[in-house]
């Protein structure tokens, strides 16, 4: 019998972010999985009246299946702290810093993790940026600082396409980040309760692991365990655990890396609320460790708490 058996579990999903559609899939999958474990589950599509929604359903614990702004950035975590409702995943500070790619990069650098060269610009400069503004050559990756699921992200090979990519990134939350593109294996590490479960390799059909590659079935190949050496696997798992601890995360996280040909593991970001859909990476890694999806969801729920 789990910690929350017999209690009212609210699965928070949907929400108002650019990742709403992904969150709806995550929430539905997690609610179904928890239901199979005998838990009393209510789905809550998070709106501006979420506090009233939680009171109306009698929520005693919250399973957060939100993504993006308002769900992954510390906002809902702060509300739940104020309401005294225990919740899954990371707390307010870890969520906020993890969502902000500029702040998290500074933290990763202080931890000694490898970063690709990058520069940060205010959104109002987006339309006028060009290659002379940064000290590295094309191709580059352009992204907004505070979005997830590759929303607003572009791989730019032709300098003439840079302004349009920057304007697209500026449509979203946060500053505009321009990173030097590093070719290598795209690998992700899942960390559960502070311990790395494994490394999965992602091979998108196109050159770039964009939103479509992440959420369109059949467009991407996955290899678990990743087709890398034991030494590289060990280094990646250590780096992911360090990033998880450095941010102060709880529950499960997924850390994304580019593993370059010379063995350097460049950290891209830590996802404090990774996707939990049929095509998501954390469930694939968990399955590779003999942890079923319902078991994974209940384990996350068992870790629900107030962090403040």
- 64 and 44 Cβ atoms separated by less than 8 Å: no
Q: What is the mean pLDDT of residues 235-242?
A: 98
CA distances from 229 to 180, 258, 261 (A): 25, 15, 12
| pLDDT single digits (tens) 109-161 | 999 999 999 999 999 999 999 999 999 999 999 999 988 657 789 999 999 99
Distance between CA atoms of 298 and 36, rounded to whole angstroms? 10
Report the number of secondary-structure helices (H) and strands (E) in the chain.
10, 12
- DSSP three-state, residue 29: helix
CA distances from 151 to 134, 196, 244 (A): 23, 26, 23
CATH code for the structural domain at 118-180: 3.30.1490.20
Distance between CA atoms of 51 and 298, rounded to whole angstroms? 24
Distance between CA atoms of 133 and 131, rounded to whole angstroms? 5
The predicted pLDDT at position 212 comes to 52
The predicted pLDDT at position 207 comes to 63
**210 contacts: CB under 8 Å, gap ≥ 6:** 150, 153, 155, 204
Mean residue pLDDT across the chain = 93
| pLDDT single digits (tens) 35-94 | 999 999 999 999 999 999 999 999 999 999 999 889 999 999 999 999 999 999 999 999
CATH code for the structural domain at 8-89: 3.40.50.20
Asked whether residue 209 carries a pLDDT value surpassing 70, the answer given is: no
With b for 16 or more beta-carbon neighbours within 10 A and e for fewer, the 203-241 pattern comes to eeeeeebbbebbbeeeebeeebebebeeebbebbbebbb
The predicted pLDDT at position 150 comes to 73
The predicted pLDDT at position 135 comes to 95
Q: How does DSSP classify residue 146?
A: T
- Yes or no: is domain 97-114+183-295 CATH 3.30.470.20? yes
| pLDDT single digits (tens) 5-18 | 999 999 999 999 88
Complete DSSP assignment for 214-242: HHSTTSEEEESS-SS-HHHHHHHHHHHHH
Q: What is the mean pLDDT of residues 152-181?
A: 95
Q: Which one, of 183, 159, 193, lies nearest residue 296 by Cα?
A: 193
Sequence spans of domains, the chain: 8-89, 97-114+183-295, 118-180
Asked whether residue 195 carries a pLDDT value surpassing 90, the answer given is: yes
- 13 and 43 Cβ atoms separated by less than 8 Å: yes
Q: Residue 93 phi/psi, 5° resolution?
A: -65, -50
The whole-angstrom distance between residue 117's C-alpha and the CA centroid of its chain comes to 21
Q: How confident is the model at residue 308 (pLDDT cuts 50, 70, 90)?
A: confident
Q: Which one, of 96, 98, 74, lies nearest residue 87 by Cα?
A: 74
Asked whether residue 236 carries a pLDDT value surpassing 80, the answer given is: yes
Report, as residue numbers or ranges, the catalytic residues: 19, 149, 215, 254, 256, 269, 271, 275
Q: Which one, of 164, 172, 158, 157, lies nearest residue 123 by Cα?
A: 172
| pLDDT single digits (tens) 96-109 | 999 999 999 999 99
């Amino acid at each position: 019998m789990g910690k929350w058996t017999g209690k009212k579990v609210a699965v928070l999903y949907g929400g108002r972010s650019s990742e709403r559609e992904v969150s709806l899939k995550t929430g539905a999958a997690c609610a179904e999985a928890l239901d199979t474990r005998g838990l009393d589950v209510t789905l809550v599509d998070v709106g501006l009246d979420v506090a009233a929604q939680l009171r109306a359903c009698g929520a005693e614990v919250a399973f957060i299946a939100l993504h993006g702004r308002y769900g992954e950035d510390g906002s809902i975590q702060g509300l739940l702290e104020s309401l005294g409702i225990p919740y899954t995943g990371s707390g307010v500070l870890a969520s906020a810093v993890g969502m902000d790619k500029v702040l998290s990069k500074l933290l990763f650098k202080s931890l000694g993790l490898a970063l690709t060269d990058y520069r940060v610009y205010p959104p109002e400069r987006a339309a006028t940026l060009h290659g002379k503004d940064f000290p590295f050559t094309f191709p580059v990756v352009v992204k907004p600082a505070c979005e997830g699921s590759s929303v607003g992200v572009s791989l730019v090979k032709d300098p003439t396409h840079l302004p349009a990519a920057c304007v697209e990134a500026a449509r979203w939350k946060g500053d505009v980040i321009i990173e030097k593109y590093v070719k290598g294996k795209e690998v992700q590490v899942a960390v559960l309760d502070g311990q790395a479960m494994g490394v999965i390799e992602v091979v998108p059909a196109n050159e770039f692991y964009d939103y479509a590659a992440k959420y369109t079935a059949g467009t991407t190949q996955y290899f678990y365990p990743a087709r890398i050496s034991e030494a590289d696997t060990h280094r990646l798992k250590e780096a992911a655990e360090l990033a998880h601890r450095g941010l102060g995360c709880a529950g499960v996280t997924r850390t994304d890396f580019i593993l370059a040909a010379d063995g350097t593991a460049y950290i891209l970001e830590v996802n404090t609320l990774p996707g939990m859909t049929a095509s998501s990476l954390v469930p694939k890694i968990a399955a590779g460790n003999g942890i079923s999806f319902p078991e994974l969801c209940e384990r996350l729920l068992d870790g629900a708490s107030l962090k403040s």
